[in-house]
Amino acid sequence: MDRQILIIILSTAVVTYLPRMLPLVILSRMRLPEVFLRWLGYVPAAVLAALLAPGLLLPEGKISLTGNPYLLAAVPTWIVALKTRSMALTILTGMVAMILCQH
């Protein structure tokens, strides 16, 4: 294997690994304030919302609130997710709702 390629692969691995490992090592040794831990609890929901919102609200690059099958399918899916807390049932509901909305 070419030495330059090996250096690039190893450098990429280090640059990818360090930002993930360092905070874990440093923060695992200290007691974090309760307010910070509560704030961290909102991060997964915020990331999920940031990932889902463009697909649901901007399916063709512009805001579409009426006649939007993605938004229509999201409503029963969201209700099932909140009521059951079942990943499998939520995914199944989303798939069925999307099929029904498209036909």
In this prediction, residue 77 carries a pLDDT of 96
57 in a structural domain: yes
In a domain? residue 86: yes
DSSP-based three-state secondary structure for 66: coil
How far apart are the C-alpha atoms of 98 and 22, rounded to whole Å? 42
CA distance 84 to 76: 12
Q: Residue 7: inside a domain, yes or no?
A: no
Give the structural domain span for 78. 31-102
What would the pLDDT profile of 62-88 be if each residue is shown by its tens digit? 898 888 999 999 999 999 999 999 999
Does residue 1 have a pLDDT over 70? no
| Dist CA 7 CA 18 (whole Å) | 16
Q: Which residue has the higher pLDDT, 96 or 28?
A: 96
For the chain, the domain total comes to 1
pTM strictly above 0.85: no
With respect to residue 76, please indicate whether it lies within any of the assigned structural domains.
Answer: yes
Any domain includes 14: no
Q: Is the pLDDT of residue 3 over 70?
A: yes
pLDDT tens profile 8-64: 999 999 999 999 999 889 988 899 899 999 999 999 999 999 999 999 999 888 898
CA torsion through residues 44, 37, 86, 67, sign: negative
Say if 20 falls within a structural domain.
Answer: no
Q: Are 71 and 95 in contact (CB under 8 A)?
A: no
